[in-house]
Amino acid sequence: MEELERNKTLSVPKESSSLFRNVNFLYLWAATLFSSFALSFFTFSQTWYIVKKLDLEASLGLVLVASSVPRLVFMIVGGAVADKFPKKNIMFFSNIARILLVTALLTWLILDNVTLHTFIFFALFFGLADAFFWSADGSILPELVEKYRLTQANSITQMTNQSSLILGPMLAGVIIKISNYETVFALTIFFLIIAAVLVQKIRMNAVKDPFQSDRNMLTSIKEGILYVKKSAFLTTLLICSAFLNMFLIGPMQIGFPIFVKNVLHGDSLMFSYLEGSVGGGMAVGAILVGILNIRRNRGWFCIVMLFLSGISFFLITQSNEVWHALLAGSVFGATLAMASIPLMAVIQSTVQEDMMGRVMSLLMLSSMGLIPLSYAATSLLLTVGLPIITILKSGAIAVMLFVIFVALRVPTVRKFD
């Protein structure tokens, strides 16, 4: 009995304690740091290898689609699993799966037998691991942190994630320039091992709803969908998220390396600087949100920030100088983070705890639902000869028009406070 009480004390911090005295949050924070660095290393290196080494820039979308499809198919399943089993265990085994995948890919690379099909093959399994990891990762914070600290906790973890997008690509770019891709993949494996160990150290309440455990997976998934449908705010948020990702993610993920190569005439370092500027802006935006701790007029605040992110994304396409692109990228990242973090905190503080995994997985599913189409459309437009600048501009204009439509015609978001 004493041991049980001691575990509860460790897993649920007292209301008066500082967030930085919450050992479980610190373990999660450190694990986030290492896993974010690992994934930024891997994503940057894979992208630049395909664009520069294989010279298959128009085919980059195929790899991104390959990783997105299993995420979409299994995301809602991952959310249901996260509500039934300890989230830290799901995150741990997902990281182990990633370690094995990157190790196998590194072996392939050493044997000098990597092709586009190799990346597509591994992307499928990476997407599967991501589906379970992200569902658990997105819903674990409310079990570790008090509700009134969720905005602060989200801003800290998001700042850490985005900081890795500053240093990760830059370090990976330097390592590729002075060493090789094998070194970057080896470091990715090392960081993932540390992240897995740290996640496993988190202590959580072992108490689970016995009725929840007895429900089959299909019933659990249906309950999550019905829960979201009953909330006009959650339903609207899911639709908005899907649209915005359709016009932002594909052009950005595929377009940035091509933009650096063909417009700015840069190398891996310049590509890392552009990626880093967006990540740096998101880190700054996360810090500002944490300091401001916005609790009033959050609907209007998010709408304004999203509109500014569309403008700054458009300004990136007008850049002929590196400093101009980096400045616009920083503003884009900052405004995007300042729009998303308050919404995430609201969801985590209002959704039932036993529904959190499924709601977060549905939110991620909606945000990624049109991403494969975005990747495919971007690749198709490049294949038929449309300039990358035109694609990027079109995405930015579509986002600005959509935000204006939401501000004028969707009161659920506009009036949210």
Distance CA 269, CA 278 (A): 15
Give the pLDDT band of residue 12 (cuts 50, 70, 90).
very low
Residue 192 has a pLDDT of: 95
Q: How far apart are the first and last CA of the chain?
A: 43
User: Residue 202 has what DSSP assignment?
Assistant: -
| 301 found inside a domain | yes
**Of residues 3 and 89, more confidently modeled:** 89
pLDDT number for residue 211: 46
Instruction: Give 112-148 pLDDT, tens digit per residue.
Output: 888 888 899 998 998 899 888 888 887 788 788 877 7
CATH number at residue 228: 1.20.1250.20
d(CA 283, CA 297): 22
Q: Would residue 12 count as lying in a domain?
A: no
The pLDDT confidence band at residue 255, using thresholds 50, 70 and 90, is confident
> In this structure, is residue 7 part of a structural domain?
no
pLDDT of residue 330: 92
Cβ neighbours of residue 230 under 8 Å, at least 6 residues apart?
Answer: none
Nearest 5°: the CA angle 279, 313, 405 is 120
Give the C-alpha separation, 82 to 358, whole Å.
8
CA trace torsion 402, 407, 408, 411 (10° rounding): 120
Q: Where residue 370 falls among pLDDT bands split at 50, 70, 90?
A: low
Q: Averaging pLDDT over each range in 209-213, 273-277, 294-298, which range is the top one? A: 273-277
Range with lowest mean pLDDT among 151-155, 262-266, 318-322, 364-368: 364-368
User: Cα(26)–Cα(31) distance, rounded to whole angstroms?
Assistant: 8
Q: What is the DSSP string of 316-377?
A: HHT--SHHHHHHHHHHHHHHHHHHHHHHHHHHHHHS-GGGHHHHHHHHHHHHHHTHHHHHHH
pLDDT at 376: 79
Q: Does some domain include residue 11?
A: no
Considering the domain boundaries, does residue 129 fall inside one? yes
For residue 5, is it within any domain?
no
Confidence (pLDDT) at 166: 67
Pick the closest to residue 274 from 250, 286, 287, 258 (CA basis): 258
User: Mean pLDDT throughout 162-172?
Assistant: 74
Residue 10 lies in a domain: no
- Classify residue 10 as exposed, middle or buried by CB count within 10 Å of its CB (0-12, 13-18, 19+): middle
Q: Residues 234-253: pLDDT tens digits? A: 777 777 777 777 788 778 87
Write out the residue range of the structural domain in which residue 242 sits.
Answer: 19-204+211-414
User: Does 1 score more than 50 pLDDT?
Assistant: no
Between residues 267 and 380, which one has the greater pLDDT? 380
- Give residue 11's Cα distance to chain centre: 25
Count: domains in the chain: 1
Is it the case that residue 215 has pLDDT exceeding 70?
A: no
pLDDT at 369: 62
The CA radius of gyration of the chain, in Å to the nearest whole number, is: 21
| Residue 240: inside a domain | yes
Lowest mean pLDDT among 148-152, 306-310, 325-329: 148-152
What pLDDT is stored for residue 401 in this prediction?
Answer: 92
Q: How many CB atoms lie within 10 A of CB 403?
A: 25
pLDDT value at position 186? 93
Query: Measured between alpha carbons, how far is 342 from 126 in angstroms, rounded to an integer?
Result: 29
**Residue 92 banded pLDDT, cuts 50, 70, 90:** very high
